[in-house]
Copies of this chain bind each other. A is one copy, B any other.
Amino acid sequence: MDVYISGAGMTKFGRSKEPLEAMMAEAASTALKEARLERVDAIYIGVMSVEEFVGDSNFAALLTDTLGLAGVPSTRVETASSTGAGAFETAFYAVASGHMKHILVLAGEKMTHLPTAKTTRILSEAIDRSERRYGATMPALAAMIAQKYAREFNLSQLKLEDILAQVAVKNHSNGYLNPYAQFRKIITKDDYLESQIVSYPLRLYDCAPITDGASAMVLTSQPTPIKVSGIGHATDTSAVGHRASFTSFNSTREAAHKAYAMSQLNPSDIQFAEVHDAFTPFEIIGTEDLGFFSAGEGWKALEEGVTLLRGRLPVNPSGGLKARGHPVGASGLAQLVEIVYQLRGEAGTERQLERAEIGLAHSIGGLGNNNLVTILERSDRKRIPKAGAIPFQEGWNQEDQCEKSVPKKRILSPPPAEVGTLETFTTLYAVPEGFRSPLTLGLVKTKGGPVVMACNPDYRSPNELKIGKTVSLKTREGLYVFEKLTLWNRLKNWLISLPKSY
């Protein structure tokens, strides 16, 4: 059964004094009014860490009562930071089953009332324990991925800085036009460069802010002008170190593959996209993983202006998570609300895209391990039948890619090793509670073993470290510690390795 959208709504994102239920009720009210419904068959609630952010569990029932809809079946759905998209997907299948006619999807999060250190700790619980215990935060892992991307595609640190700044500048410029956005200010590259480093090389302006907000949508089996064209969803290993690639998210690639297959579309059919930019490098990698550009070409397309609001393939016309804000539970659904507004031609004269018949939303859960891709299109869009197979599927051996990256078992305590190769690293300045700043972290490929997280208490300047170099690896207080393999270190290691009877 086909699934359509009959209503959409969201609150202004930002810092709000309203309780979470009130924000969510506001978004729901708009969506229900648009759908001309007072009651629905079911409600799916997307909240990420509501127990810890606001101290309530049993939130689906609580919220349904707040809406004056006590009685209606209500289910909380969660896929970390892609939760809004996850709730939408769940509702999609329920409508597609034919058992439900109208479903309200409602997503939100309230975050700004807590101290930043507490919010950081809550968000860090989404990171694998084996990496979290080193003090790795979301920005730290994103920074390592940015470093690796620069290395893999031969970008100098200056060049990397330049393209990340371009993502931030572009998305702020789009957000400036979006009445729902948290930040409605244009920033320049100079502003970007003046912002403090959070985790080298990522600056404050590379990271989405902490935000309150809610978004809502009504899904229906009755035809409306907007149709759900395809949905894909995939996970990846919990630890970043266990993945085959650090410059591409397999979960995005697989989710995109499924969404394109369900909708019988190619990346080239997509006219605009909302791409998860909780960190600027993720937008560039996202445009590659979604098949818009080849691997290592995303930054070039950005430089050429392809993804600008008036470019050939606008990315994040809403301002993205960067400028619209990122209430973790709500963002995945807010992206879809933006797509609905664009498809309807209701995005406002300045922000409205010319070509807006088909749009894609890409949402990342955790550090890229629970991702969803959703494609919405206008129901009246004319489809030109394509001859033969879908080229996108042909050129992309998804199965193999996936097999490679999946370890048969989660490796919890890999064997210690003497030396390894530094895969990527970062120096984190905004450290979680209990850690000293700055904190240098690296992913180290052990000889013949797995990639492990390791810390380096000595190196304060990231310039002293280089991806691809051999480093020594020690265990200290149950943690891996890596060091640059200087001549002295080599000698020390050799001395230590001598049998004790000498």
With A51-B125, A52-B51, A65-B235 as given contacts, are A60 and B79 in contact (CB-CB < 8 Å)? yes
| CB < 8 Å neighbour of A61 from B71, B80, B93 | B80
> In the complex the two chains form, is A93's CB within 8 Å of B99's CB?
yes
CA distance A369 to B58 in the complex (A): 9
CA distance A86 to B45 in the complex (A): 13
| CB < 8 Å neighbour of A57 from B64, B98, B126 | B126
> In the complex the two chains form, is B75's CB within 8 Å of A369's CB?
no
**A408 at the A/B interface (Cβ < 8 Å)?**
yes
**A76 at the A/B interface (Cβ < 8 Å)?**
yes
**A500 at the A/B interface (Cβ < 8 Å)?**
no
CA distance A67 to B350 in the complex (A): 49
- Kindly supply a per-residue 1/0 record for chain A positions 213-250, scoring 1 wherever the CB is within 8 Å of any chain B CB and 0 otherwise: 00000000000000000000111111100100000001
Contacts of A254 in B (CB 8 A): 71
Partner-contacting stretch, out of A274-282, A299-307, A399-407: A399-407
**A423 at the A/B interface (Cβ < 8 Å)?**
no
Q: How far is the CB of A255 from chain B (nearest CB, A)?
A: 8
With A52-B51, A80-B58 as given contacts, are A65 and B408 in contact (CB-CB < 8 Å)? no
Contacts of A69 in B (CB 8 A): 235, 406
| CB < 8 Å neighbour of A58 from B75, B77, B234, B366 | B366
Residue of B nearest to A97 (CB): B96
Contacts of A237 in B (CB 8 A): 65, 70
Q: How far is the CB of A2 from chain B (nearest CB, A)?
A: 11
CA distance A291 to B57 in the complex (A): 30
| CB < 8 Å neighbour of A71 from B86, B126, B250 | B250
- Kindly supply a per-residue 1/0 record for chain A positions 386-411, scoring 1 wherever the CB is within 8 Å of any chain B CB and 0 otherwise: 00000000000000001001111110
With A58-B80, A78-B76, A125-B58 as given contacts, are A64 and B97 in contact (CB-CB < 8 Å)? no
Chain A, 42-61, CB within 8 A of any chain B CB = 42, 48-49, 51-52, 55-58, 60-61
Residue of B nearest to A81 (CB): B58
With A71-B234, A235-B71 as given contacts, are A78 and B99 in contact (CB-CB < 8 Å)? no
Q: How large is the interface on A (under 10, 10 to 19, 20 to 34, 35 or more residues)?
A: 35 or more
Q: How far is the CB of A488 from chain B (nearest CB, A)?
A: 39
Copies in the complex: 2
**A196 at the A/B interface (Cβ < 8 Å)?**
no
**A479 at the A/B interface (Cβ < 8 Å)?**
no
With A49-B51, A75-B86 as given contacts, are A369 and B70 in contact (CB-CB < 8 Å)? yes
> In the complex the two chains form, is B409's CB within 8 Å of A68's CB?
yes
CA distance A68 to B407 in the complex (A): 6
> In the complex the two chains form, is B100's CB within 8 Å of A93's CB?
yes
Contacts of A467 in B (CB 8 A): none
**A26 at the A/B interface (Cβ < 8 Å)?**
no
> In the complex the two chains form, is A68's CB within 8 Å of B406's CB?
yes
CA distance A237 to B90 in the complex (A): 24
CA distance A403 to B242 in the complex (A): 53
> In the complex the two chains form, is A57's CB within 8 Å of B80's CB?
yes
CA distance A481 to B251 in the complex (A): 55
Q: How far is the CB of A106 from chain B (nearest CB, A)?
A: 13
**A66 at the A/B interface (Cβ < 8 Å)?**
yes
Contacts of A402 in B (CB 8 A): 71
With A97-B96, A407-B68 as given contacts, are A61 and B366 in contact (CB-CB < 8 Å)? yes
CA distance A48 to B59 in the complex (A): 11
Most buried by B among A93, A235, A366, A402: A235
CA distance A94 to B90 in the complex (A): 8
**A73 at the A/B interface (Cβ < 8 Å)?**
yes
Contacts of A93 in B (CB 8 A): 93-94, 97, 99-100
> In the complex the two chains form, is B235's CB within 8 Å of A129's CB?
no
| CB < 8 Å neighbour of A78 from B65, B78, B80, B96 | B78
**A363 at the A/B interface (Cβ < 8 Å)?**
no
- Kindly supply a per-residue 1/0 record for chain A positions 343-368, scoring 1 wherever the CB is within 8 Å of any chain B CB and 0 otherwise: 00000000000000000000001100
Given A65-B410, A77-B78, 5 other A-B residues pairs in contact with their CB atoms under 8 A: A57-B122, A58-B127, A58-B365, A70-B407, A71-B236
9 nearest CB pairs, A to B: A58-B126, A73-B233, A96-B97, A58-B80, A58-B366, A57-B125, A93-B94, A65-B238, A61-B370
Could you give 12 example pairs across A and B, Cβ below 8 Å?
A: A1-B97, A56-B129, A57-B80, A61-B365, A61-B370, A68-B407, A71-B251, A71-B406, A74-B370, A76-B79, A90-B94, A97-B98
